[in-house]
Amino acid sequence: MEHIKLERTLVLLKPDAVDRGLVGEILHRFERVGLKMAGLKLVLAEKSHAEQHYTEDLAVRRGQHVRDMMIAMLTEGPVIALCLEGIDSVEIVRKMVGGTEPKSAVPGTIRGDYSHMSFKHSDEKKIGIYNLIHASSSASEAEQEIAVWFKEGELVDHTPTYTKKTIPV
């Protein structure tokens, strides 16, 4: 019998999601699809922590001003750091989260249902785009990001009862 490899991914519920009281609703969506939590914590991110998350690579790809805005937004208030595990979890979570620009995110996605800001508005106001959530874009990025938010021993390795019956691990 072939063993299925479970993949881990990082999700951050940004300060705007926490401030709006959407944490439970968003967590419920991930649980409902069958992803399991391997780690969950509330964090007040210091600037240095946010800089570890939004690396210099972001400045190269999107510009230093974008990186600076994202760091500022991540340090505005509490963040929920969440490590989820499941089959193809990175891909599943990205699909559930929706496009980066809330205005363009498809209804039924987290951003499509709970946010509406456009890149144009954000650019005109010279503010970051409030899009509620961060999700790792690849398995390798997830591994790096999980290490930024969770220390050795903080993730829980467990097999939910329903999984034992449906997924050979």
Q: What is the pLDDT of residues 88-100, one digit of tens each?
A: 999 999 999 999 9
Residue 70 lies in a domain: yes
What is the rounded CA–CA span in Å between residue 125 and residue 9? 32
DSSP strand pairing (36-44 vs 7-13) = unpaired
The CATH code of the domain that includes 148 is: 3.30.70.141
Query: In this model, does residue 131 exceed pLDDT 80?
Result: yes
pLDDT of the residue at 85: 95
Our count of domains for the chain comes to 1
What is the rounded CA–CA span in Å between residue 111 and residue 8? 21
Residue 107 lies in a domain: yes
Residue 125 lies in a domain: yes
Has 134 been annotated as catalytic?
A: yes
Contact between residue 80 and residue 18 where contact means Cβ atoms under 8 Å apart: yes
Residue 104 lies in a domain: yes
Find the mean pLDDT for residues 13-18: 97
Nearest to 70, CA basis, from 128, 115, 2: 128
Please, which pLDDT band fits residue 108 given cuts at 50, 70 and 90?
A: very high
Residue 116 lies in a domain: yes
Residue 168 lies in a domain: no
Catalytic residue among 3, 28, 121, 134: 134
Structural domain of 18:
9-163
Please, which pLDDT band fits residue 161 given cuts at 50, 70 and 90?
A: low
What are the counts of helices (DSSP H) followed by strands (DSSP E) for the chain? 10, 4
